[in-house]
Amino acid sequence: MSAIDPGIDSTARASHVERPIIEYTDAEVRFGALHAMGPVTLNVRPGEFLAIVGPSGCGKSTLLNLAAGSLAPASGYVRFQGRNISGPNSNVGYITQKNYCLPWRTVAGNVKLPLEYRRYSRARIKERTADVLKQVGLSGFENQAHQENEWVNLMGNAA
């Protein structure tokens, strides 16, 4: 047993470390003639803390979009748990630095979106949405229309 990870013995850790949860292999992204990113080769292992830093436009969000399956590489490949990502990957999610809410949806409507995407039952969506809104202090605002400045104020007051 290790003091760093007491739950995994050295043999299990060695095999665990060898299998990345996300793999980028020579992944390149192009938007028409524009070479946007890559090639990138990067492995992310389970439990690993990874920070992607760089100036605006260098490809940080592009890497995340590749893992989420919302963007496909022009060349190379991206894998999640050993399988090629060829479309939306509902096993991953990320939160961007900027508030990207859909302006035509209510507060609850924006919270429900990932649950709807994963095709949860209506009852589970209703329950989970109520729980999340309660956790962040937005109970009672479920049906409010999107107003970014007001949401920022609400979220600031909820913290």
Question: Does 22 score more than 90 pLDDT?
Answer: yes
- Select the more confidently predicted residue: 103 or 156: 103
Cβ contacts of 148 within 8 Å, gap of 6 or more = 99, 101
- Domain span(s) for CATH 3.40.50.300 in the chain: 10-84
Whether pLDDT at 2 is above 60:
no
Structural tokens at position 50: 């990874």
Mean pLDDT for all residues in the chain: 81
3-state secondary structure of 118: coil
pLDDT at 31 over 80: yes
pLDDT of 158 > 70? The answer is no
pLDDT digits (tens, 9 = 90+) for 43-99: 999 988 888 888 888 888 899 999 999 899 999 999 999 999 988 888 887 766 666
CA torsion sign, 85 to 88 to 93 to 98? positive
pLDDT for residue 154: 52
Element (H, E) at 44: strand 34-44
Token pair belonging to 103: 């302006």
Give the least confident one: 46-50, 112-116, 143-147.
143-147
From the candidate CATH numbers 3.50.50.60, 1.10.730.10, 3.40.50.300, 3.40.1550.10, the one assigned to the domain spanning 10-84:
3.40.50.300
Indicate if the pLDDT at residue 5 is higher than 50: no
- State the residue for tokens 């996300």: 22
Q: What is the pTM of this model?
A: 0.59
